[in-house]
Amino acid sequence: MTLVHVTDLVKDYRIRTGLRRTRLRAVDHVSFDLVPGRTVALVGESGSGKSTIAKILTRMEKPTSGTVDVRLDDGTPVQGSLYRRQVQMVFQDPFASLNPFHSIEHHIARPLRIHQRTHTAAETHQRVLEMLERVNLTPAETIAPRRPHELSGGQRQRVAIARALAPGAQVLVADEPVSMLDVSIRLGVLNLMGRLQREDRLAVLYITHDLATARHFSDEILVLYRGRIVERGPSDAVILDPHHHYTRLLARSAPDPERRDRVTAAVTVDRDAIDNSVCYDHRTRRWEQAGVPSATATDRPAVG
């Protein structure tokens, strides 16, 4: 099993406008743990820093400061090629994440060969068929030779999940994996990921802006606003008893078929008035400072 400890993650980007250079802080002292068999959901609007955290975890970006410590059960650090095998990502767009020139078998066979999970062509072919069957793409023999454009969006995302798990990943970073799929098949893909998580004891980071799927699929929710965590805790506690203004705003924005006033006048929200310097932790039931190193976070009075 593989554990991930993210501590005080910071990511700054340098932006050049003419002769001026400014700094954009996309992630500001974010800390959390990923443990086997559990899912942590990162929830927030576009631009809040969710995908930046995913890229840092998968080493597509380097953090400005902070640490991502990945270790096995016995405390052995996971580094180098082992890190890339253990930590894999499922991308948001199933139409763009697969190369249209290659077959489905090629997409799954390639990580098997790169990470030396198989050694012969026959062994690789058999393993590809097994992975396709695991993600409910059957009959696997007819799916394997197809090209991505011959599959539906849901089928392509299942291929992407199989590709991520092919090298033996124990940590799965799912960056809005169902946001581009039809509503009718989203639940099927989430249930598939849940089954695979239980079977392989995966540690999952689920990134989304959808509170409903976050509550359904995750054990813990972190609400991210402008690069900082402003609320955290068990999924039901965060969704049913939100404390931070931003979490309440997200909850009000989510469609609710039980709401009698389904169509309401648009409400203008002053984003600058939303305080992202504080974070409510449902486990400790305390307000803490956000955007500061973990060791210096202090209690804050209740906000609104």
- Provide the H-helix boundaries in the chain: 50-57, 80-86, 104-114, 121-134, 140-143, 153-165, 183-200, 211-217, 235-240, 245-253
Q: What percent of the chain has pLDDT over 70?
A: 92
Query: Binning pLDDT at 50, 70 and 90, where does residue 100 land?
Result: very high
Q: Within 13 Å and on the Cβ side, how many CA atoms surround 146?
A: 17
Q: How far apart are CA 276 and CA 293, in angstroms?
A: 15
Q: Which residues pair with 145 in a beta bridge?
A: none
Element (H, E) at 281: strand 278-281
Helix (H, G, I), strand (E, B) or coil at 110: helix
CA distances from 128 to 95, 190, 221, 254, 300 (A): 20, 22, 34, 39, 53
Cβ pair 201, 1 in contact under 8 A: yes
Q: Please report the pLDDT score of residue 304 as a whole number.
A: 46
Cβ pair 278, 303 in contact under 8 A: yes
Q: Please report the pLDDT score of residue 262 as a whole number.
A: 55
Q: Please report the pLDDT score of residue 21 as a whole number.
A: 87
Q: Please report the pLDDT score of residue 283 as a whole number.
A: 94
CATH fold label, 2-255+270-300: Rossmann fold (3.40.50)
Given a cut of 60, whether residue 303 has pLDDT beyond it is no
Tens of pLDDT, residues 162-201: 999 999 999 999 999 988 888 888 889 999 999 999 999 9
Q: Please report the pLDDT score of residue 165 as a whole number.
A: 95
Query: Binning pLDDT at 50, 70 and 90, where does residue 74 land?
Result: confident
Query: Binning pLDDT at 50, 70 and 90, where does residue 41 land?
Result: very high
Roughly what angle, to the nearest 10 degrees, separates helices 121-134 and 153-165? 130
Tens of pLDDT, residues 219-240: 999 999 999 999 999 999 999 9
Average pLDDT, the chain: 89
Given a cut of 60, whether residue 244 has pLDDT beyond it is yes
Given a cut of 60, whether residue 263 has pLDDT beyond it is no
Cβ neighbors of 104 (< 8 A, separation 6 or more) are 132, 143, 144, 145, 146, 147, 148, 151, 159
* Domains of the chain, residue spans: 2-255+270-300
Given a cut of 70, whether residue 290 has pLDDT beyond it is yes
